[in-house]
Amino acid sequence: MMKTIVATAFLSALALTGYAQTASTDEVAGVRQACFNYIDAFYKADTTLAYASVHPTLQKRGFAFDEKTNAYSKQLEMPFPALVRLAKVWNRDGKRANAQSPRVVDVFEVADKTAMAKVTAVWGIDYLHLVREDGKWMIVNVLWQSPPKSVVAVR
């Protein structure tokens, strides 16, 4: 009897693990696509990508480094309408980003309703929080900074 219970529990866990891995692979792909859309909204000056993957309630905060003063700015804030305005013009002439510019997405965690990722782009690094709404991943929070002088990975 005990062997049957243990075997049943093991097989159930194995079956659920297989399903979770299949489902999460699709979810990770959706998170990655939202993050690439975010980068490409700026790189390609394509605001349709921002509308597709950035939530209208976005809260974006960050710090720009000024080479002249050798210091970071105070915290800068950018709501969704400002992000769309900036994406429209930021690389319109193609002088800020090109095919060789960094375009990296690292997905840290994906749950059923929330996810967290890091984007590395020509402007620096962005840490993103995403939510899943109506089957679609949307960026709701961004914390960014200009390219750092160093990064310490802690696990």
On whether residue 33 sits in a domain, the answer given is yes
On whether residue 93 sits in a domain, the answer given is yes
- Per the DSSP assignment, residues forming a β-bridge with 133 are 136
Answer yes or no: pTM beyond 0.85. no
On whether residue 150 sits in a domain, the answer given is no
CATH number at residue 11: 3.10.450.50
On whether residue 87 sits in a domain, the answer given is yes
pLDDT at 94 exceeding the cut of 90: yes
On whether residue 155 sits in a domain, the answer given is no
User: What average pLDDT does this structure show over 43-58?
Assistant: 98
On whether residue 107 sits in a domain, the answer given is yes
Contact between residue 139 and residue 58 where contact means Cβ atoms under 8 Å apart: yes
Q: Give 147's DSSP letter.
A: P
**Strands of 54-63's sheet, edge to edge?**
76-79, 54-63, 136-145, 124-133, 114-121, 103-110
Question: Could you list the residue range(s) of the whole structural domain that residue 21 is in?
Answer: 2-145
On whether residue 27 sits in a domain, the answer given is yes
- What is the residue whose two structure tokens read 């093991």? 10
Number of domains the chain contains: 1
On whether residue 152 sits in a domain, the answer given is no
Model confidence pLDDT, tens digit, residues 97-142: 999 999 999 999 999 999 999 999 999 999 999 999 999 999 999 9
